[in-house]
Amino acid sequence: MSRCPRLRPAALAAFSLLLLTGCGSTVSSGTTASSADHQGPLVIGSDTSAESRIVAALYGELLTAAGEQVRPAPAPYPSAADSARAVVKGEIGLVPAYETTLLRAMPGGGKRPGDMAATLSMALPPGVVALGPARAERDVVLAVSKALARSHGVRGLPDLRRAGSRLTLGGPAVGDPDAPRPAALTKAYGVTFTALPGSGTPDVMVLHAADPVIARRHLVVLSDPKGVMPPEHVVPLADAAAVDLPARKALAHLGARLTTTELAALTARVENGGAPAAVAGAWLRSHGPFT
């Protein structure tokens, strides 16, 4: 079976325009390969984040162990949108992607779907498939210190009103498109926030679910029963012709075992200097088999 992803001009023309208008990152360049011309290994890409690089390494190590021929892309892409664009163009055959990030670049992507899998299936261009999502998520979450949670009985966003009316909001993911606006939190949960003075530590932190700081600082992630923040499960985005049934089954087994907590721990190891392939290989050996 051919391993090089196929270039789909019609899908590329439509989808690339959507991606270009949906994000401000620079278009990634690269040589496209047509599966009609020659065969080759499955090329696995990532974006520059430690989280994406470790998931891509998990894909590579897992599929290699399953007997698949794979190789990494020459370099990470600047963003998740760029790596998704690379699958559409046929530069790579597989990449870690995220549900809402993908939908944001699609027609009607601003609307919340009732069935994410069906929505992605209809939104993606022909020949590109989002495989089953992992348990792991990288969605935006709000978290508080264990001390604040204990002193006010805070376990979810509805409980924040118990903590007072002068809470501050901020954190590394505050600029994410999925980060909730204070007005949205006020409308949904009746909680209001004051401005964060200077560079102090906010009472309520805006983070990605797989951020290692959550475990490192023992933060309490708050439940969001009204779904103010959209889901962002990790999904393998693939050229349908480049990923065969055994590979899909192996990726499904991985997704069933990869939790947000596990992904955060793996991301921390990479951020601390661990080589993604080595970190991924060690985790797979300790959690397998995946067949």
Q: Residue 98: helix, strand or coil by DSSP?
A: strand
Could you give all domains of the chain from N- to C-terminal order, each with its CATH number? 9-136+234-287 (3.40.190.10), 140-221 (3.40.190.120)
| DSSP letters for 247-291 | HHHHHHHHHHH--HHHHHHHHHHHHTT--HHHHHHHHHHHH----
Chain Cα centroid distance, residue 179 = 14
Chain Cα centroid distance, residue 101 = 8
Strand-pair partners of 238: 94, 129
Say if residue 262 is exposed, middle or buried (CB neighbours under 10 Å; 0-12, 13-18, 19+): middle
pTM over the 0.85 mark: no
CA–CA dist 144, 154 (Å, integer): 9
**Separation in Å, CA 16 to CA 28, 35, 48, 73, 238:** 11, 20, 20, 20, 16
CA–CA dist 175, 196 (Å, integer): 14
Q: What pLDDT, on a 0 to 100 scale, did the predictor assign at position 11?
A: 44
Q: Name 88's Cβ contacts closer than 8 Å, sequence gap at least 6.
A: 8, 11, 12, 15, 16, 19, 125, 128
pLDDT in tens, the chain (291 residues): 445 444 444 444 444 433 333 333 323 333 333 333 336 899 999 999 999 999 999 999 999 999 999 999 999 999 888 898 888 888 999 999 998 887 776 655 545 556 788 888 888 888 999 999 999 998 899 999 999 999 999 999 999 999 987 899 999 999 888 899 999 999 999 999 987 777 788 999 999 999 999 999 999 999 999 999 988 899 999 999 999 999 999 999 999 999 999 999 999 999 999 999 999 999 999 997 776
